[in-house]
Amino acid sequence: SLGFAAVGFSRDVGFAVANVVWITQTAMIVVTGGLGYLMLFLYRMRRG
């Protein structure tokens, strides 16, 4: 948020952008981890 304030945007805009980036990154990590877990589970089931 301080970077946005340095270039002339309000602190609220920086805080909002930081929250969106954090939520998006967290969601991607959770989804990717879930898909990886599912793929490993299916691989082990097919393998026997």
1-48 pLDDT tens trace: 667 778 888 888 888 988 999 999 999 999 999 999 999 999 999 997
Residues 6+ apart with CB under 8 A from 11: 1, 2, 4, 5
User: What residue has token string 């609220």?
Assistant: 12
Please give the pLDDT value at position 7: 86
Please give the pLDDT value at position 8: 86
The number of folded domains in the chain is 1
Whether 12 and 18 have beta carbons less than 8 Å apart is answered as no
Please give the pLDDT value at position 22: 97
The DSSP string of the chain is -HHHHHTT--HHHHHHHHHHHHHHHHHHHHHHHHHHHHHHHHHHHHH-
The structure's pTM equals 0.71
Q: Give the domain range for residue 11.
A: 2-47
